[in-house]
Amino acid sequence: QVLLFVIPTQLQSVTHQALHRLFHTRSCLFVVLHILLEAAVYGEYTWEVFVYCWELQFHLLLLLLPYLLLAGNVGCFLLCSRADPGIITKSNHASVVKVYAYDGVLFQKGILCPTCNMEKPARSKHCSFCGVCVQRVDHHCVWLNNCIGARNARYFLLYLCTLTAMAAAITTISAALLRHLVLLSGMLRGTYLDEQGHEQPVEIFFLVQHLFLTFPRIVFMLGFVILLTLVLGAYSCFHLYLALTNQTSNEWCKSRRSHQQTLQPHDRQVVYKNIYSRGVWMNLKEIFKPPTLLERKKK
């Protein structure tokens, strides 16, 4: 009976450790996937879209815009993924803990990080992927294989903006190419025979089907980058909102939970007040020039 009890316990422990290593360790898997997706999109853009547009005498600067955005995006990617996000160590803990005040709601004084065995500074969080506490932590980005914190938030915001602009530029150029080809072919003025043998004017569904059969890779890529533009655009707007209001994703989620859990009499919710916001301009300045203890003392 003792053996039957011990073996399942050991199996549970081994399984838990394996899952912990799988989901709570830094991995380059998503970085590689990210690079492959960009390579596939730019390969198709270069191989077909650029060539067709060049033959149709599209402006060269317009055709080169996605490559210029790619160069800027790669630069932001390298800076954001390799930069120190604001790792809190025993040597800098005393100064970091004084940069931001505790708001008493989301961040309480005297709470220890059980892993790092240090008091958590306000606006900090322990990252289970990196195994460290990070100052003004936003989230751990698997696509960059790094935490987003006080020291690299500016690079992450620029990375998101350039990535969205890349997708939007390729979407615009590819859509303009297909529109140009449709107009040149005069297909909009044509007709086709339906299943009953009746002559019908060309409709959108027939047009899309024809384009997909004629230029399948361009149409498939266009659908992908349109979806990517919408998703990245929404995500970029959300992070721009966080930057303008001096919040992080971590704080935004915690404040939403605080609204739901803390209630006043007569079911009135407690309104959380963000004490870190100091106006749009100063909030943006804090993103691009993270405050230090010395700067805080001067104010």
Residues 6+ apart with CB under 8 A from 186: none
Single out the residue of 130, 137, 143 nearest to residue 81, CA to CA: 143
Per DSSP (E only), the strands in the chain are: 87-88, 112-113, 118-119, 125-127, 132-134, 139-141, 146-148, 191-193, 199-201, 263-264, 268-269
What sign for the dihedral angle of Cα 137, 140, 144, 146? Answer: positive
What is the token pair recorded at 282? 């100063």
What sign for the dihedral angle of Cα 133, 134, 138, 140? Answer: negative
Exactly one of 80, 116, 141, 147 is catalytic; which is it? Answer: 141
Q: Is residue 116 annotated as part of the catalytic site, yes or no?
A: no
Catalytic positions: 141
